[in-house]
Structure 1
């Protein structure tokens, strides 16, 4: 087989593989490719033989882990860490509730579609950087490598209750976490999940995803408001009279989420589905890497 034949076969194989990618993963890969990260956000993980850093010994470190030559130069003992040991575990929770299926305009993506796109795109970036990524409460533990992408994709789900409750199961001790939700339900669930994650020393991001209609409340006259699951319904003849009270309640909810995140050492951001996903993805990546 000639070199030209080999290149042709490889090109055909690559095109076939690309065509077989699920649309969401293909879109996430494309979105991730638009983000320029510079040299790297965090050094790539090695195979266990690349020097990362010296750190003081912790309780539980064995004697064989101590670098005695470095320790001899000070009164403390130090461990020589390798790059792969410093990789982070990042656990993602994507709200599967019915409320996430809302879109306020024809042709605009739903909140759920945007949340899943951001989740998969951030996973692409993190896995590319050597991190381990998993899903909270979905029996998809954090693992490294590109092969994890399909596991993450298959672990994403729709349906369930009208409003979602964040899950902290699966978040690693001293790891990172990302919650993507409209946070339209009772916030005590979010408070409990953040408290549980923080007890493990985990830090992360609350990404509040809203449709522009939920921000602007463009309703007037006779209007029937229903939850996506149909369990809640309210009819009014003068929807415009509710606008100021609704906007005040929404502002209170945002402030509560922001204060909750700040108290737990997390970050908070609000993203609208009427905006492009790229700025949100870059912000989330930097926040998870500690750059915000």
Structure 2
């Protein structure tokens, strides 16, 4: 005789499961689905010992907190040293997904906005890094790097609610610690001098990084013809022309010059740079981001 399951208990279990699932932001669900399409090994840099066991001494880097200096070891030489531990080798990774108004552009409207794609890639990368034992967080004060799945929920909530009134974005780098890694996702249409100063300051602190330029296909192809009104998403910039096609060559030259400047900046700082279009699958960009971090590790 077969015993039928208690339908009441089954219904209660289903409701509990649905309630638990509803807590997860849709962005986190999408990021985990994207990360699941990428088969990768552990990315963590841990090599010996567990927890905070001693690994090795290393010279203190400019900008590091003095409380980590090992004064007994430093007294035996003219240099100052810190005790490097296993959890420090699993370096912190700081993510910046530009949320400025320019990132709300979605081209023909059928695809994601640049901001949506940047947030998805940032969180999917966080999923992969967390699986590898890394400490992941956001630049700025809202989600400093921490390990574990609970951190992913924090990052997702901050990213999902992020919105800036600024027309063009700029990374917040003051809180990024020395010897860590940084990932910037943006259209990088903002002040190039500010970006140079930010990346240069991070490179001086031993921060290795990745810059991924996220563009809509129309920003790359410039398919406009005839009378066209160009207006920034924030509404602060507006230009009307009767012959949009005449602007194409000059626009593409300026875009190429900006991309060349970004690539040169990355090369000078020892960083990695690439461009991703929202009309392309996100998997390729995620693979590149993960590999680029590995090359800089």
Same-fold status (TM-score > 0.5): yes
Q: CA deviation at 1:239?
A: 0.3
What is the 5 A alignment of 1:88-167?
88-156=91-159, 157-167=162-172
Provide TM-score, normalisation by structure 2.
0.83
> Are the structure 2 counterparts of residues 46 and 57 from structure 1 closer, same or farther at C-alpha, using a change threshold of 3 Å?
closer
Task: Select the residue among 153, 158, 177 that pairs with 1:172.
Answer: 177
Does residue 240 of structure 2 align to residue 235 of structure 1? yes
1: distance between equivalents of 2:275 and 2:190?
Answer: 16
Task: Select the residue among 227, 230, 246 that pairs with 1:222.
Answer: 227
> Are the structure 2 counterparts of residues 129 and 13 from structure 1 closer, same or farther at C-alpha, using a change threshold of 3 Å?
farther
Aligned pair count? 274
Paired residues of 2:96 and 2:183 also in contact (CA < 8 A)? yes
2: distance between equivalents of 1:195 and 1:57?
Answer: 23
What is the CA RMSD across the aligned residues, in angstroms?
2.9
2: distance between equivalents of 1:56 and 1:80?
Answer: 5
Provide TM-score, normalisation by structure 1.
0.84
2: distance between equivalents of 1:97 and 1:119?
Answer: 16
Ranges in structure 2 where 5+ consecutive residues have no aligned partner: 61-68, 74-80
Task: Select the residue among 275, 283, 288 that pairs with 2:293.
Answer: 288
> Are the structure 2 counterparts of residues 81 and 56 from structure 1 closer, same or farther at C-alpha, using a change threshold of 3 Å?
closer
For 1:67, the equivalent position in structure 2 comes to: none
Paired residues of 2:57 and 2:83 also in contact (CA < 8 A)? no
Ranges in structure 1 where 5+ consecutive residues have no aligned partner: 65-77
1: distance between equivalents of 2:84 and 2:172?
Answer: 31
Paired residues of 1:45 and 1:131 also in contact (CA < 8 A)? no
> Are the structure 2 counterparts of residues 44 and 127 from structure 1 closer, same or farther at C-alpha, using a change threshold of 3 Å?
farther
2: distance between equivalents of 1:147 and 1:45?
Answer: 24
Q: CA deviation at 1:134?
A: 1.5
For 1:75, the equivalent position in structure 2 comes to: none
Q: Deviations over 1:205-250 (max 9, x none)?
A: 0110000000000001000000111111000000000000100100
2: distance between equivalents of 1:251 and 1:160?
Answer: 27
2: distance between equivalents of 1:35 and 1:147?
Answer: 21
> Are the structure 2 counterparts of residues 55 and 114 from structure 1 closer, same or farther at C-alpha, using a change threshold of 3 Å?
same
Paired residues of 2:45 and 2:90 also in contact (CA < 8 A)? no
Paired residues of 1:48 and 1:85 also in contact (CA < 8 A)? no
> Are the structure 2 counterparts of residues 176 and 49 from structure 1 closer, same or farther at C-alpha, using a change threshold of 3 Å?
closer
